[in-house]
Structure 1
Amino acid sequence: MRAYLNMKKLLGLVVLIVLAPVWVRSLNPSLNDEVLGLIVFKADVQDPKGKLSSWNEDEDSPCGWAGLTCNPRSGKVTELNLEGFSLSGRIGKGLLQLQSLRKLSLAKNNLTGRISPSIARVDSLRVIDLSENNLSGSIPEDFFRQCGSLRVISLAKNKFSGKIPDSLSSCSSLAAINFSSNQFSGSFPAGISSLNGLRSLDLSDNLFEGVIPKGIEGLNNLRGINLQKNRFSGQVPDGIGSCLLLRTIDLSENSFSGSLPEAMQKLTLCTFLNLHRNSFSGEVPEWIGEMKSLETLDLSANNFSGQVPRSLGNLQSLKTLNFSANGFSGSLPDSMVQCTNLVALDFSHNLMTGGLPTWIFKSGTKEVSLSERKLGGASAPTNAVQNLQALDLSHNSFSGEIGYALGVLSSLRAVNLSRNSLVGPIPMTIGELKFLDNLDLSQNQLNGSIPLDIGGAISLGELRLEKNNLDGNIPASIENCTSLTTLILSQNRLTGQIPTEIAKLSNLQNVDLSFNNLTGGLPKQLVNIPNLLSFNISHNNLQGELPAGGFFNTISPSSVSGNPSLCGSAVNKSCPAVLPKPIVLNPNSSSDTTPGSLPSNLSHKRIILSISALIAIGAAAVIVVGVIAITVLNLRVRSATSRSAAALTLSAGEDFSRSPTTDNNSGKLVMFSGDPDFSTGAHALLNKDCELGRGGFGAVYRTVLRDGHPVAIKKLTVSSLVKSQEEFEREVKKLGKVRHHNLVALEGYYWTPSLQLLIYEFVSGGSLYKQLHEGSGGNFLSWNERFNIILGTAKSLAYLHQHNITHYNIKSSNVLIDSSGEPKVADFGLARLLPMLDRYVLSSKIQSALGYMAPEFACKTVKITEKCDVYGFGVLVLEVVTGKRPVEYMEDDVVVLCDMVRGALEEGRVEECADGRLQGKFPAEEAIPVMKLGLICTSQVPSNRPDMGEVVNILELIRCPSEDQEELG
């Protein structure tokens, strides 16, 4: 009945939309056409914020409605401006009723669908702005047929595709075209060349290709042209020099080549010229100085060569100059001292030589980058101006000391003098730079200590001083740099202890103090740094126990290596405990001998046993007894199993069609989804050829029911540990109700006191373990298949945890793959069949696969929760992405997968961990976050691991569908 009512409502809505004009006019026959058209338009959109609530069909005129402007004389609507109204839906034909409309703006909404050719046919329209929506499809060929009055059109930031119609040439009055940030393709629109009145053209961020036609010279009124981020190629036509009114030219990020057209020197009104990232070559001509209005000149990332033209000094309006990443040689011309308005200067990544021009620091320049050139000589002058905010002179050959006048540059925010040959101390005046955010003096020959005044740089976010000759202590005053996120002091000669004050820097993420001479212990307070991602203290002389908690529970062994006196799990060295004096046993002493003493003639034969030794001996004895007990137990189980299986085989001829059946000899069979005849599968229980595998709970066999339905039968081998029949059946029935497409369905069970069978659906594709580690030749899992397996497994565990079921045994051999490639998790919830979650059972039976076991299994005082599944899942994630087993035994080493990936992450080469069989055919933007998620799931502290529901959400966010996805697969 409810479905019928819903269908009825839906049909009513369709009738309302289709017959809206007739319906509205029947309610109010006096409605004028504009009210009618607007009400029909409103019916086609959704208005979640109620912006159109004032649009009421009972009104005689729409002139008081939100977003509308009317002509005061005629009362006709002349402007419809619904920009930013949060509307969704489609643009209907109701707007055709607004015959006096001059401006239509539906920008910054969420409108979808295609645009109708009829929109532009309103003769009075001057402005159409549909930018920043989700409109798609191609523009109809006749869209521009009747647009003689149109002056401005913007379709920017939508999802339009295809070619621009040639009918655009019909819009002879067009002054501004903005088709940017879409997916338009094809060549430069031919119709544009005939639009003599065009003042602004923006085709940026599309898929246009080919050359710019020579006909562009006809655009005599053009003020701005933006072709950025397309696929245009060839040379820029000389005709561009005929567009004498051009103010802005952006041809960046294309494939233009050749030299700059000489006719460009005529563009004396041009203030902005951006040719960044193309393939222009040759020398920059001297006539560039004729473009005297230039304020921004960007020729970066091209193939220009030769000398920097002296005529740049004529560009006295120049504010931003970027010649980086080219092949310029020689030195900067002194004539540039006349560029007194220069704010940003970048000549980095070139082949220039010589010293640092003094004029740079005499102008009002705020940003200077001259990195990776071949400049040399003394360091920066001491008479630098106070306006400078960013200085990058890295990767050059500067020598000498850093001037004390550096502190005079009170506006400095970033200083990079790395990779030079600077000597001497770090000037104490560094503490006077209150706005300094980034200081990089690494890879020089600086000596002396880190100045105590460093704490004065209170805005410091990144401090890099590695690979110098610095000595002395790390100053405690660094605690004042509360914004610090990166502290790299490695490969120096620093001594003393790591100051406790570092622990107060709550924003710290990356710390590297390796390869120094630091001593003492690590402050326990370091565990309180909440955002720490890496902390490298390797190759020092530190001692004592590593801090326990927070980041240090998962610290990589490589980050603490080379400190012989450090102890803790990360260095695989236990810390010495305070023990009582050793007990001295003398087997030859008499009863009156003083305890703990030996006769002098037997002192050389005394036996000393410490408490730990006694404990070890006791543990060994317990293990021996346990092995004997388990052996006896297995013999009993096998005997009982054989008898019960025989009984089941004998009873196969009896009536198993009724479910459940029970008998003192045959046991009880229950099928959850019907009454299939089970008798034909009984022989498989003792048939080795039908065995699929063995796990912690028992062997699994494949058999086929009489109706042809294949099933997998698990014969439990923990019978003596299984609960009573009543409790066993109650738990199995709960598991039988668990249904999820990524879980292996439990279809039934069989019970006798000495034999229990679980009947599962049969999954044909085998286990994930076999596909990862035993696959043949070119048959391996693609990235898409791996990601889907990870996501499906995560969803199944999240489902189990929602139903208060913990798996306890996550590993690749328990993840099966069906014929369509979907993962199905098996063996879930079997621990519920045991009378208690005894750690011996969990570790020796369930968690039989080394490497998946959460660390809390080793601690009797820690409660085992679903976070154990999260840990095992994290290991599984790394196994799937890398194709490596959780623990691999090499000739001279044992490689733990989690530690290997974590170390690679700290060294910035985590992408190398991906399975080599993928041969680079995987999206790094997915693989790297997935591996990081796996590491988070394997945190040593259970509370630091996410819930599986959160894991599913994260994976769905990581998934980045793209056109290349199929190829990567």
Structure 2
Amino acid sequence: MGSCKFSTFSFLCLIIILIVVSGEESPQLVKDRISLLSFGSGIVLDPEGALESWNSSSTHVCLWTGVKCDDASDHVTQLDLSGLSLHGWISPVLANLSSLLVLDLSRNFFEGHIPAELGYLFRLRQLSLSWNLLGGNIPEELGFLHQLVYLDLGNNRLAGDIPAPLFCNGSSSLEYMDLSNNSLTGKIPLKNECELSALRFLLLWSNRLVGRVPRALSKSTNLKWLDLESNMLTGELPSEIVRKMPKLQFLYLSYNDFVSHDGNTNLEPFFASLVNSSDLQELELAGNNLRGEIPPIIGDLSVNFLQIHLDENLLYGSIPPHISNLVNLTLLNLSSNLLNGTIPLELCLMEKLERVYLSNNSLSGEIPAALANISHLGLLDLSKNKLTGPVPDSFANLSQLRRLLLHENQLSGTIPPSLGQGVNLEILDLSRNEISGIIPSEVAGTQGA
């Protein structure tokens, strides 16, 4: 059998297989073996030799690489060839593996279309074809998979609208759906009469989806991870939808065309809708068209909050001191807005901050020396504001600080020599200020100094 390569698969090979294994495998396993070999004929390159066992007539099919069987039913139930760098195409003959529960071909180089016939694997619970080179439309037939729990088609070249049966097929078993990083178009096809009550992960980022977030998504009350970033979605921020998702941990809505409430003037209803999401860890709203002030209620969000991205919007007003209630925050990004006022001293109470971006606003006043109390601070970007006064000597206490960006302000005085002593700066940018004197030798070797 070693001479029966997939690229030269022939009827003669099948006859030999049937003769050799008929005494060792049940008739059903013989059929499954033939289907697998037919699928294998579409694999044109196996650079790691991972499927060498498939070429052996003496190896039981249930011992082949990536194949698992159910001893009780004598059927192949799992085909997992993930991460083997296989090249070729996916044959529709896989639909003959009628007892398949898991099909994972992710992280390979499969090309062509997704066979519509996969929609007839009615027992399938996990389908992962992510990180391949698959193109064309998503087959509507995948909506027939009523037992599906896990669906991952992300990171391919898929195009066209998302077929409605994928979201609305009378099944509520789906827990994970990832269609991200493709070229999918149209609206998110979730109708009011549909329900994805078990859904915990919905990842649709980096596509070309349009329209509003469908109201029916509010029925997915178990959702933990919602990522709609980098699409062309419109309308008000989906406050009434996320309000009904108390288990949310990650909410990514950046780089769309969302606006705030009351004619794009009021962010408070949206932040209020997240107050009961006690597990919320990350919120990304960057790169939308959001206007309004940052409401004080932001400080009432989950104590588990780790990251918040509000950059590249049209936010105005001052930074609310109440934000300091987010004591576990590690990243705060408010850059590229229209914020004014001073940097609130309360910010210095957020001792777990590691990265702070406040650049490209209209902040004024002096840089609080108490920022040096944030011992984990590794990046501080206050550039492109209207800050005045000296660079605080206390920054020498920030032993973790690697990037200090203060350019394009109105800072005065001299450069503290201490910046080159207690701090291991990699980048220091003080350009386009009103700083005088010479560059101390202690900081002269820092990039950008």
TM-score by length of 1: 0.40
1:413 aligns with 2:391: no
Residues 547-597 of structure 1 deviation map (CA, whole Å, 9 limit, x = unaligned): xxxxxxxxxxxxxxxxxxxxxxxxxxxxxxxxxxxxxxxxxxxxxxxxxxx
Measure, in 2, the Cα distance between the counterparts of 1:15 and 1:214.
45
Higher relative contact order (CA 8 A, sep 6+): 2
1:306 aligns with 2:265: yes
1:166 aligns with 2:109: no
Alpha-carbon offset, residue 280 of structure 1: 2.8
Secondary structure of 2:134's match?
strand
CA gap 1:470/1:186 in 2 versus in 1, 3 angstroms: closer
One of 345, 354, 369 as aligned partner of 1:381: 345
Give the conservation status (yes or no) of the 8 Å contact 1:161–1:182. yes
Give the conservation status (yes or no) of the 8 Å contact 2:6–2:40. no
1:149 aligns with 123
CA gap 1:244/1:105 in 2 versus in 1, 3 angstroms: same
1:275 aligns with 2:253: yes
**Which amino acid in the other structure matches residue 136 of structure 2?**
G
**Which amino acid in the other structure matches residue 278 of structure 1?**
N
Give the conservation status (yes or no) of the 8 Å contact 2:254–2:286. no
CA gap 1:372/1:123 in 2 versus in 1, 3 angstroms: closer
Secondary structure of 2:100's match?
coil
Alpha-carbon offset, residue 119 of structure 1: 0.5
**Which amino acid in the other structure matches residue 132 of structure 1?**
R
1:21 aligns with 2:23: no
1:437 aligns with 402
One of 236, 239, 243 as aligned partner of 2:216: 239
Residues 131-181 of structure 1 deviation map (CA, whole Å, 9 limit, x = unaligned): 122222223444424x22222212222222222333334333223222222
Secondary structure of 1:391's match?
strand
Identity of aligned residues (%): 30
Give the conservation status (yes or no) of the 8 Å contact 2:324–2:349. yes
Residues 843-891 of structure 1 deviation map (CA, whole Å, 9 limit, x = unaligned): xxxxxxxxxxxxxxxxxxxxxxxxxxxxxxxxxxxxxxxxxxxxxxxxx
Measure, in 1, the Cα distance between the counterparts of 2:57 and 2:4.
25
1:199 aligns with 2:158: no
Residues 374-430 of structure 1 deviation map (CA, whole Å, 9 limit, x = unaligned): 444444428533222222232334333333323222211111222333333222222
In the TM superposition, 1:666-815 aligns within 5 A as none
Give the conservation status (yes or no) of the 8 Å contact 2:127–2:151. yes
**Which amino acid in the other structure matches residue 461 of structure 1?**
E
2:294 aligns with 332
Measure, in 2, the Cα distance between the counterparts of 1:310 and 1:170.
39
**Which amino acid in the other structure matches residue 179 of structure 1?**
L
Give the conservation status (yes or no) of the 8 Å contact 1:188–1:208. yes
Measure, in 2, the Cα distance between the counterparts of 1:101 and 1:67.
11
CA RMSD of aligned residues (A): 3.6
Alpha-carbon offset, residue 125 of structure 1: 0.9
Higher-helix-fraction structure: 1
Measure, in 2, the Cα distance between the counterparts of 1:310 and 1:436.
36
One of 213, 222, 227 as aligned partner of 2:189: 213
Number of matched residues? 431
CA gap 1:254/1:385 in 2 versus in 1, 3 angstroms: closer
Secondary structure of 2:442's match?
helix
Deviates more, 1:316-325 or 1:51-60: 51-60
Secondary structure of 1:156's match?
coil
Alpha-carbon offset, residue 487 of structure 1: 1.3
In the TM superposition, 1:757-906 aligns within 5 A as none
CA gap 1:462/1:15 in 2 versus in 1, 3 angstroms: closer
Measure, in 2, the Cα distance between the counterparts of 1:191 and 1:261.
23
CA gap 1:55/1:211 in 2 versus in 1, 3 angstroms: closer
One of 401, 405, 412 as aligned partner of 2:366: 401
CA gap 1:458/1:172 in 2 versus in 1, 3 angstroms: same
1:253 aligns with 2:224: no
CA gap 1:275/1:60 in 2 versus in 1, 3 angstroms: closer
Alpha-carbon offset, residue 25 of structure 1: 6.1
Residues 40-73 of structure 1 deviation map (CA, whole Å, 9 limit, x = unaligned): 8878676554555667847474556655545566
Measure, in 1, the Cα distance between the counterparts of 2:311 and 2:239.
26
**Which amino acid in the other structure matches residue 258 of structure 2?**
F
**Which amino acid in the other structure matches residue 14 of structure 2?**
P
1:453 aligns with 418
One of 75, 78, 81 as aligned partner of 1:106: 81
One of 213, 216, 228 as aligned partner of 2:205: 228
CA gap 1:71/1:487 in 2 versus in 1, 3 angstroms: same
Give the conservation status (yes or no) of the 8 Å contact 2:95–2:117. no
Residues 409-464 of structure 1 deviation map (CA, whole Å, 9 limit, x = unaligned): 22111112223333332222222222111111122232222111121254312111
Alpha-carbon offset, residue 310 of structure 1: 6.0
Measure, in 2, the Cα distance between the counterparts of 1:163 and 1:14.
27
Give the conservation status (yes or no) of the 8 Å contact 1:125–1:149. yes
Measure, in 2, the Cα distance between the counterparts of 1:137 and 1:448.
64
CA gap 1:248/1:461 in 2 versus in 1, 3 angstroms: same
Give the conservation status (yes or no) of the 8 Å contact 1:174–1:195. no
Secondary structure of 1:471's match?
coil
